[in-house]
Amino acid sequence: MDGNIIEVNDLTVRFGDRIVLDKVSISVKKSDIYAIIGKSGSGKTTLMRAILMLEHSEGKINVFGVDINKADEKKRNQIKRSYGVMFQAASLFTSLTIGENVAVPLKENSNLPDNLIEDIVRFKLSLVGLDDFVYDLYPYELSGGMRKKAALARALALDPKVIFLDEPTSGLDPASADDFDQTIKRLNELLGITVIMITHDLDSFFGITTRACVIKDKRILAEGEPVNIKSIDDEWIKKIFFGQRGRKFELWNQK
């Protein structure tokens, strides 16, 4: 695997007769904060869902040396246990407290006693930078940024090796987004958790991403470090990085 913990080779996903991803190949290293970028509808979520085994796919998806499309159910479940996922809406259970929300995966997947689960939950909340009092609050009592962090704590409940984040900073104000980025970076650096995220956020892209891929026309247009991706001669890339939005970003960064 050559230092890669995930290798996707010639992955094809179709919905009915429609091919959405066509022989896509990417590789993710253990140390990566890996971004998947591409315009809306290009297949970013589909790629992530295929790696998460939520979408039927053809081709090879090697995770920790296991070809998950050929593996038996036991192996696939083992791999699933090494994943943590945070979907875009943060989707916390509204009728449960934050503590109860983070405890859900632990209750579903372990026989640990309640007092130990509580200790683990409080530790996960502190890992993502949430104060201890948040444990007893309900999701509606939290800001958007805090809700995202709570969802991240829940994704960390089972000590995943890889976390998948779908547009983690969308809807956050710049300070909260930056705070969230730093939390992701800390988890990656301190705990060695590999991060795979879909993002449209240029700050996250240049601030914390180590490697990325661009999906275009059902294929991988490019894969590499953000700075190399930025210089690719492609209409969409130029629009993103050198169009209105990109220019605002450059100006802001020069301040």
Ligand X SMILES: Nc1ncnc2c1ncn2[C@@H]1O[C@H](COP(=O)(O)OP(=O)(O)OP(=O)(O)O)[C@@H](O)[C@H]1O
**Contact set with ligand X (CB under 6 A):** 15, 20, 38, 40-46
Q: How far is the CB of 218 from ligand X (least distance, A)?
A: 9
Give whichever of 41 and 174 is closer to ligand X, judged by the CB atom.
41
Helix (H, G, I), strand (E, B) or coil at 142: coil
Q: Which of 144, 142, 189, 149 is nearest to 165 (CA)?
A: 149
Q: Which of 218, 221, 203, 212 is nearest to 28 (CA)?
A: 212
Q: How far is the CB of 230 from ligand X (least distance, A)?
A: 19
Report strand pairing: 33-37 vs 194-198.
Answer: parallel
Give whichever of 39 and 238 is closer to ligand X, judged by the CB atom.
39
Give whichever of 42 and 101 is closer to ligand X, judged by the CB atom.
42
DSSP one-letter code for 106: H
Q: How far is the CB of 92 from ligand X (least distance, A)?
A: 20
End-to-end alpha carbon distance in the chain:
42
Token duo for residue 126: 């502190």
Give whichever of 27 and 42 is closer to ligand X, judged by the CB atom.
42
Q: How far is the CB of 45 from ligand X (least distance, A)?
A: 3
